[in-house]
Amino acid sequence: MRAVILAAGYATRLYPVTRDRPKALLEVGGRTILDWLVESIEEIPEIGVAHLVTNHRFAGQFSMWRDGYRGRLAVDLLDDGTTDNETRRGAIGDLELAIEVRGLAEDLLVCAADNLLRFSLADLAGAFRARPDVWICVRELRDLEARRRTGIAVVSGDGRVLEFAEKPAEPRSCWAVPPVYLLPVRVLPLVAEHLAAGGSPDAPGHLLASLCGRSPMWAHFIQGTVMDIGNAESLERARAEWNGRAR
């Protein structure tokens, strides 16, 4: 199994903070957001390599981060060649790039680089070992406006995902889906098919909507929370809540 970390966005909602620094390298609790994420990925023993997809503008900063990284993963940087928000490839476009350029032919953990995880990825990996299908994480979200800004899954009583919609105007459930997925190797060709068919290259949830119904998909009900660093307010809230958090 390998990890793909999607970190090529430009985080324009956080300008001017992220004009010259990628969101994943902002500090929260004395460490970067990326440090926290990679530490979570290290909980999965099958993962030895993490492919981090960045844009050309910030590739140098991620290279410096990698030089200082002292964890057990081999971190492979992949520059997608873009330099601004207008030319970005989108998260799914960057995932396709990693699969194609690196010739990935293993099960993949796919993560956005701008989330702080307060749940165990080891538990998600355990569910995948028992049933190696597409797995997503779900958490209950009651606020209607918040549900309209995220991926939403409709889940059966036994945990099978029946429907998935990215940022639906009328959410059909309260199960919100953060951008943390496990994809078995057999579905990787469907990433390129999604894009070739005109599917959105942006939020990775659009890929899940495409996969739902084409491959078995299961919900992992997380024990904990996810902090999405989307704007200045959420960044300050995360810093307040994670201040002094143990490494």
Q: Selecting from 3.90.550.10, 3.30.2390.10, 3.40.50.300, 3.40.50.410, what CATH number does the domain 2-242 have? A: 3.90.550.10
The CA distances from residue 203 to 71, 165, 206, 208, in Å, are 28, 11, 6, 10
Report pLDDT for 246. Answer: 46
Report pLDDT for 118. Answer: 85
pLDDT at 204 over 90: no
Q: How confident is the model at residue 234 (pLDDT cuts 50, 70, 90)?
A: confident
Q: Which residue type occupies 69? A: Y
Give mean pLDDT, residues 217-241.
86
HEC string for the chain: CEEEEEECCCCHHHCCCCCCCCHHHCEECCEEHHHHHHHHHCCCCCCCEEEEEECCCCHHHHHHHHHHCCCCCEEEEEECCCCCHHHCCCHHHHHHHHHHHCCCCCCEEEEECCEEEECCHHHHHHHHHHCCCEEEEEEECCCHHHHCCCEEEEECCCCEEEEEEECCCCCCCCEEECCEEEECHHHCHHHHHHHHCCCCCCCCHHHHHHHECCECEEEEECCCEEEECCCHHHHHHHHHHHCCCCC
pTM: 0.93
Report pLDDT for 226. Answer: 83
Q: Of 38-52, 115-129, 189-203, 217-231, where does mean pLDDT reach its minimum? A: 217-231
Q: Which residue type occupies 243? A: N
- Tokens representing 130? 């028992």
Per-residue pLDDT tens digits for 166-183: 999 999 999 999 999 999
Report pLDDT for 245. Answer: 58
Residues 109, 6 contacting (CB under 8 angstroms): no
The rounded distance, in Å, linking the Cα atoms of 31 and 93 is 28
Residues 179, 205 contacting (CB under 8 angstroms): yes
Report pLDDT for 168. Answer: 92
> Would you list the domain boundaries of the chain?
2-242
pLDDT at 247 over 50: no
